[in-house]
Amino acid sequence: MYGWMGRILRVNLSEEKIKYEVTPEHLAQKYIGGNGFGARILWDELRKGIDPLSPENKLIFAAGPLNGTLWP
């Protein structure tokens, strides 16, 4: 899939560490870009009722294939 880098950069601000994770291409095809992929990460990794200001919470920046286009 054009534009798919196949990696996630995870930044842990509490521990001041970064790491890359390889992600399978089928996820890019299934979720088509940043919004869907970011939602999948939130769904899989957050527990119900988490405090919004908790260090366990996530801040996700996810660009998709339609960024920078006129598509709504």
* pLDDT by residue, tens only, the chain of 72 residues: 566 678 889 999 889 999 999 988 888 778 877 788 888 888 999 999 999 998 888 888 887 777 777 876
Report H helices in the chain: 25-31, 34-45
How much is the pTM?
0.69
C-alpha dist (Å) from residue 67 to 6, 33, 38, 63, 64: 17, 9, 14, 6, 6
Please list the residues that pair with 18 across neighbouring strands: 11
C-alpha span between 60 and 24 (Å, rounded): 18
- 2-13 in b/e burial notation, b at 16+ Cβ within 10 A? eeeeeeeeeeee
What's the confidence (pLDDT) of residue 1?
56
